[in-house]
Structure 1
């Protein structure tokens, strides 16, 4: 690894501008000189993706003139491309690794005045998203959530890494549908473990709690933030969310009857959460979890519904003049960062999505930040508690 960093430093130099330069390592060859770069990373985005382009303007040549290969290192002297779809690739910003994955698409466009070359790269997790998981059995008993996720990701040569010990819980029973993708299985496992599941720069994926790490500095309008958009909304939010029992009991009285409310109470689990930010009556009914003794998970579920809907309806989007915080670290997803609004109000938010971009307008980073509640995993009843026997005992 140090050899790659040394190579980057020799080519790009050691100054501040070098840490703003994107490069791609393919087949042991470092490619620089990209004229436009877009790299998109996110907690809810898998795989992470990069789009890079080189453009050279050249005068039109007659048919008798030889068209010199402007791509240079992208082709060898024999004219054989050194970049092919499917190649293993690393995307770096300065010396920092940002994406480890594969070249998905190679695009070359030529005209008498212009020659353009583009690469689209996706992180290794694209294989988890696209490919079916293969198992010798569809049902597993007494398994560990982290171990199961590691087993599912192994075919893609991806490891599942714990951050601060997240996700190390036991599952008494877990069933797999044989047509499910690896991502769908791991995503369910992560929800059962109560953790987030997202890409890491080295090509592996993380099990982590929400906001488990913190940036060295924050985002301040008028300083390192050029543009800021705040959203406060009631869309998708409800004054109360109630879990009801999905039984065969029917409401025999018509709405408006004196006993109608009493019958509704009869099918209510008692798990209710209210959103104080919604002042008018906007109720929502959701089904209670079957087999949930004392409705412990159901109670968490209604609270999660209120909190997540609030978090997703209150976001801050900023455009930064730098890809890094004051300590020189790249902005990173699932990191807490203090945000100071134009009004002077300060709040701690989680970086949910980042777009690193570079082009004619310079180097910018677009960050989407949301309250931690907006990223909390949905509480789920462990599979062993939802089988028919346990349901009968709990009932």
Structure 2
């Protein structure tokens, strides 16, 4: 197979060295792709890429032979961006052109699509990181942690037989209060919500090509109240004085867990149940605050297109980093990069970003399984 370093001559497209996209398959580096789309994100697994070239001169002797299923590495300049497998290869032939298209997925595609396998489906006295490492080990995928993510001790954790490996990791990361996502080298990282600020960021009049902002009340509530799950028996009709209010007070007062969203102008209450093992209601108090913050964060979305794949320091944009957004008014707002698409084609090189407040990505507080088991055992003994 010849190395397609001259494909750019066929498609009439010249790439700068820092943004030259190539894939390495079976020891061969293939570059010169005319159209590129690379999709990455905090909530996206696996990361994926689509590469396409159009050969207008099929008799030049250049050839492509990329087998589906082959291991590959995608790079931009000297930076590794995605390590995984060739998912599919397609060709389209017409009298005028020969279109060759390759779709790539990161190694985590097997975690998303395949069932989890263990020697035992119940793990005791381990950490969230340890469980994630065990679930990834059969697939040859390493898992690391930064910022102390995944260090939380989990006394008992059971895997459901039909769960995918991804579903197991998603559950355990919620218990640990951290997020997880792909890395360019094909590994997975457990991490807190990012605090690293990208150099330069997105600036109107500098590198911003397009911006769409969304501010919504959808899914938001004026108040969020935790409530005990015991039955509330109404001995008198709700219309009889304030009996209904008194019964509701009896169900919520012991918890003392409520939060409000000042951005919701009309009455929109939300009741959430207190979990069985949350005997001191500490998780419920965190949960109501999380509900307000998460729903607000997901309702404030910025979609921005910038003219470069790299920040002001020359580093490729990366998910889970804070992006300073500067408007023409010079107001600055640091938002988390949740989703990123790097695209390249006849109209140049662009980066499409989805930005939200950091609170939009904080995992939901949950009661640890060990605490649930202890409470269940205590009830059984009684």
Compared CA separation, residues 8 and 211, structure 1 to 2 (3 A): farther
Compared CA separation, residues 250 and 343, structure 1 to 2 (3 A): farther
TM-superposed deviation, 1:255: 3.3
336-345 vs 144-153, greater mean Cα deviation: 336-345
Give the TM-score of the pair, scaled to structure 2. Answer: 0.92
Q: Does 2:314 correspond to 1:315?
A: no
Residues 193-220 of structure 1 show CA distances to partners (whole Å, capped at 9, x for unaligned) of: 1111101000001111101433122111
Q: Does 2:107 correspond to 1:124?
A: yes
The residue number in structure 1 matching 2:142 is 159
Q: Is the 8 A contact 1:144 1:170 kept in 2?
A: yes
The residue number in structure 1 matching 2:222 is 239
Of 266, 279, 292, the match for 1:306: 292
Residues 103-141 of structure 1 show CA distances to partners (whole Å, capped at 9, x for unaligned) of: 001001111111110000000000000011112322222
TM-superposed deviation, 1:257: 2.8
Compared CA separation, residues 224 and 253, structure 1 to 2 (3 A): farther
State the SS of the aligned residue for 1:51.
strand
Of 301, 325, 334, the match for 1:348: 334
Rounded Cα–Cα distance in structure 2 between residues aligned with 1:91 and 1:361? 22
The residue number in structure 1 matching 2:183 is 200
Q: Does 2:108 correspond to 1:109?
A: no
Give the TM-score of the pair, scaled to structure 1. Answer: 0.89
Compared CA separation, residues 392 and 204, structure 1 to 2 (3 A): same
Q: Does 2:55 correspond to 1:56?
A: yes
Q: Does 2:225 correspond to 1:263?
A: no
TM-superposed deviation, 1:49: 0.4
Residues 18-57 of structure 1 show CA distances to partners (whole Å, capped at 9, x for unaligned) of: 1111111111100111110000000000000000101023
Rounded Cα–Cα distance in structure 2 between residues aligned with 1:73 and 1:213? 43
Rounded Cα–Cα distance in structure 2 between residues aligned with 1:391 and 1:296? 19
Rounded Cα–Cα distance in structure 1 between residues aligned with 2:377 and 2:262? 36
The residue number in structure 2 matching 1:389 is 376
Q: Is the 8 A contact 2:117 2:138 kept in 1?
A: no
Compared CA separation, residues 326 and 293, structure 1 to 2 (3 A): same
Of 34, 59, 68, the match for 2:59: 68
The residue number in structure 2 matching 1:273 is 259
Listed as ranges, the matches of 1:176-255 within 5 Å are 176-255=159-238
The residue number in structure 2 matching 1:328 is 314
Residues 325-363 of structure 1 show CA distances to partners (whole Å, capped at 9, x for unaligned) of: 111100000011211123332111111110000011110
Rounded Cα–Cα distance in structure 2 between residues aligned with 1:200 and 1:103? 17
Compared CA separation, residues 224 and 8, structure 1 to 2 (3 A): farther
Rounded Cα–Cα distance in structure 2 between residues aligned with 1:53 and 1:253? 71
Rounded Cα–Cα distance in structure 2 between residues aligned with 1:326 and 1:16? 19
Compared CA separation, residues 140 and 117, structure 1 to 2 (3 A): same
Compared CA separation, residues 113 and 73, structure 1 to 2 (3 A): closer
Q: Is the 8 A contact 1:164 1:212 kept in 2?
A: no
The residue number in structure 2 matching 1:23 is 22
TM-superposed deviation, 1:391: 6.4
Q: Runs of 5+ in structure 2 lacking a partner? A: 9-13
Of 329, 350, 358, the match for 1:372: 358
TM-superposed deviation, 1:234: 1.1
The residue number in structure 1 matching 2:130 is 147
275-284 vs 263-272, greater mean Cα deviation: 263-272
Q: Cα RMSD (Å) of the superposition? A: 2.3
State the SS of the aligned residue for 2:256.
strand
Q: Is the 8 A contact 2:297 2:359 kept in 1?
A: yes
Rounded Cα–Cα distance in structure 2 between residues aligned with 1:310 and 1:118? 40
TM-superposed deviation, 1:228: 1.2
Q: Is the 8 A contact 1:239 1:278 kept in 2?
A: yes
The residue number in structure 2 matching 1:137 is 120
Compared CA separation, residues 36 and 214, structure 1 to 2 (3 A): same
Rounded Cα–Cα distance in structure 2 between residues aligned with 1:179 and 1:325? 42
TM-superposed deviation, 1:224: 1.1
State the SS of the aligned residue for 1:83.
coil
Rounded Cα–Cα distance in structure 2 between residues aligned with 1:181 and 1:228? 37
335-344 vs 100-109, greater mean Cα deviation: 335-344
Compared CA separation, residues 217 and 163, structure 1 to 2 (3 A): farther
Q: Is the 8 A contact 2:232 2:247 kept in 1?
A: no
